[in-house]
Amino acid sequence: MFAYVALVVPGAESTQAASFVFAFPLTFISSVFVPTQTYTIEWLALLARKSPITAAADATRALAVTGPIGEPLLRTAAWTIALLVIFIPLSIARSRPIEWARGGSGRQTSELVAEEGRRCDRMAFRRPAGRTAAAPASTG
């Protein structure tokens, strides 16, 4: 899910902020900090019991301490498979170059990636106007 978010938003900071919007409520509305039996609001308790974070926390707790292991592990595996089935195709579709996805030039993806790499290399070695290269430090 977070890989798809990273492909949708423009930068690393935006990715972190957008991911936090999903991760923060899911973490606190789960059984990580408070048992779901203590929730007094019924819809919140239901959401907490069905959360993928609750499934993973219960499985981890069962493996680390004691408790029923089978059901939490199956729920965690089911959530993992469901999220992969949903977000792998979305991420693959989103990661294709826009020109190729629109049927533009018909070039191979590797050609487009190589061209983008060359463009970034040219930009990285460009110096601002009026600046010269610094002399290497002498050792001796």
pLDDT digits over 11-26, tens only?
777 778 888 888 888 8
**pTM (global) more than 0.75:** no
Query: Which comes out higher in pLDDT, residue 101 or 33?
Result: 33
pLDDT digits over 129-139, tens only?
555 555 555 55
Question: CA 121 to CA 103: how far, in whole Å?
Answer: 26
Which residue has tokens 């610094």? 134
3-state secondary structure the chain: CHHHHHHHCCCHHHHHHHHHHHHHHHHHCCCCCCCHHHCCCHHHHHHHHHCHHHHHHHHHHHHHCCCCCHHHHHHHHHHHHHHHHHHHHHHHHHHCCHHHHCCCCCCCHHHHHHHHHHHHHHHHCCCCCCCCCCCCCCCC
80 band by pLDDT with thresholds 50, 70 and 90: very high
- Category of 56 on φ-ψ map: left (φ > 0), alpha (ψ -120 to 50) or beta: alpha
Distance set, CA 89 to CA 7, 84, 86, 115 (Å): 12, 8, 6, 25
